[in-house]
Amino acid sequence: MEDPQYIKLVQQEINEKIQDIGRGSNVPADQLADIVPFKWVEKNIGKYVKNLYRKKNFSLEGQLEIKEKIHQRLNHYIQEKNIPIDQSNPQVIDKIADSSVIASKNLIEIPYLVNYVNKVLQFKPVLNRLLIGSSVVFILLFFLLLQTIDWTHRKFRFAAYVFLGTGATFLLFPTWLYFSGVIERIGILTESVYRFVRQYLVSFDLTFIYTGLISVGIASILYVFSERKRAIVIYKGRGK
């Protein structure tokens, strides 16, 4: 979730929301422009994503920094415009600052994403067991091949077929999903949330694609070894 475009969009939405909060108290939008910096948003989004996977509650970092910035801007505005100071001014400023922090947190958090991540985490142990089980079966089959097949090149070739089948299984549907445009067409109206969910789904899909490519790569290496071994056997046979 390190997409700079997504972070930039969230930063823009937060700053616009803070300006809207200021307008509600008759503060011109330019007085509260660019309150939240890019790095602050990036840090908090990173923390939010990590907390999702760790199943921890999310709290904003640097809240005081944002509140102090708002206080400074508003106090400067009051002095610049010679606005009469009374007991309500500090309360109004505190309210704007607190509301801005709450709004920032709400725009960084995506409530329904928690349910999605929980489903992924529930599926992850099943996937791990499937991978471990497949590895055990492969090892058993490989040792069985060592015992039953005489020629070394055939052992490598059968191992290549096993890895090729595994790679094809991982590549077929995820690759279709990646290039079909299904992920691009998810029905989310807010652009920043759309980018977040899209990037999340793409990352999850690419995990399977990379696993498949690695399996196909191993299959190719084993097949090359098989062909070399076969060539040696043929050469020795002709020599006799």
Provide the residue-wise pLDDT of the chain in tens; the chain has 240 residues: 567 888 898 999 999 999 999 999 889 999 999 999 999 999 999 898 888 778 788 899 999 999 999 999 999 998 888 877 676 788 889 999 999 999 999 998 876 666 666 666 666 677 677 777 777 777 777 677 667 666 567 777 877 887 888 888 888 888 888 898 887 877 665 676 677 777 778 888 888 899 889 989 988 998 888 888 778 777 666 655
Residues 92 and 165 in one domain: no
Q: How many distinct structural domains can be found in the chain?
A: 2
pTM of the entire structure? Answer: 0.63
Domain of residue 67, residue span: 4-109
Three-state SS string across the chain, please?
A: CCCHHHHHHHHHHHHHHHHHHHHCCCCCHHHHCCCCCHHHHHHHHHHHHHHHHHCCCCCCCCHHHHHHHHHHHHHHHHHHCCCCCCCHHHHHHHHHHHHHHHHHHHHHCCHHHHHHHHHHHHHHHHHHHHHHHHHHHHHHHHHHHHHHCCCHHHHHHHHHHHHHHHHHHHHHHHHHHHHHCCHHHCCCCCHHHHHHHHHHHHHHHHHHHHHHHHHHHHHHHHHHHHHHHHHHHHHHHHHC
Same-domain status, 168 and 210: yes
Co-location of 223 and 166 in the same domain:
yes
Same domain, 48 and 144: no
